[in-house]
Structure 1
Amino acid sequence: MINGAHVILYSHDAEADRAFLRDVLGQPHVDAGGGWLIVKLPPAEIAVHPTDAAQAHELYFLCDDVEGTVRELTARGVEFTEPVTDAGWGLLTRLRLPGGGEVGLYEARHQRATDL
């Protein structure tokens, strides 16, 4: 059966984004050959939200203390594109990848499936 997930981020500067995940976020990785990094993600969960708009997919990193994580990553040079906001179900923000893309970061207030 399914034993993992593989997330693909498309980037205008894939090498810089790989280096960011490896060096700034400190995620373990393997080299699949020729410097092509496959980065280990922390435990993950998936949610399906209804929409009447175009279907899209988003990536959020989870943390236990969003304000502290923002301070730590800002000190490492990470740019945040939105202030931390209260969405009711959690506190969230977005950070910019070196290639220009963005990913979310949030502190959940709900039970996390990663704890199962």
Structure 2
Amino acid sequence: MITGAHAILYSSAAEEVRTFLHDVLGFGSVDAGGGWLIFALPPAELAVHPTGGGSSTELYLMCDDIEATLAELKTKGVECQPVTDQGWGLLSRLTLPDGSGLGIYQPRHPSP
């Protein structure tokens, strides 16, 4: 039986992103050996969306109040994109220390 999911962020600045996940987002972690940190995540959901061909994978963080969450992250020096209303939720992107983005949204859809 499936007991969980494991997501991976690839980064040219892995140590800085790990520090961001721990110090800024407050994710707890364990050392899997040799300094390889595995971070605890909040409860997760999985959705499958149709495409015109091919496939891809995306990761989004979820929050209850996007304005308050982004305000708190900004006090920690996190660059955040303006919030956009997507109908299904309010969406923004955080800039990680390697310059890549990580989606964050306040859902309007029910959660399982």
TM-score for both structures, normalised by structure 2? 0.95
Cα deviation for residue 62 of structure 1 reads 0.4
The residue that corresponds to 2:101 in the other structure is: 102
Structure 1 window deviating more from structure 2 (2-11 vs 28-37): it is 28-37
Cα deviation for residue 54 of structure 1 reads 4.2
The residue that corresponds to 2:79 in the other structure is: 79
TM-score for both structures, normalised by structure 1? 0.92
| Structure 2: gaps spanning 5 or more residues | none
Cα deviation for residue 57 of structure 1 reads 1.0
| Structure 1: gaps spanning 5 or more residues | none
- Paired with 1:25 and 1:5, the residues of 2 have a C-alpha distance of 19
- Percent identity reads 61
Task: Count residues with an aligned counterpart.
Answer: 112
> 1:101 corresponds to which letter in structure 2?
S
Cα deviation for residue 100 of structure 1 reads 2.0
Cα deviation for residue 79 of structure 1 reads 0.9
Structure 1 window deviating more from structure 2 (27-36 vs 104-113): it is 27-36
Cα deviation for residue 34 of structure 1 reads 2.4
RMSD (CA atoms): 1.0
The residue that corresponds to 2:41 in the other structure is: 41
Cα deviation for residue 35 of structure 1 reads 1.9
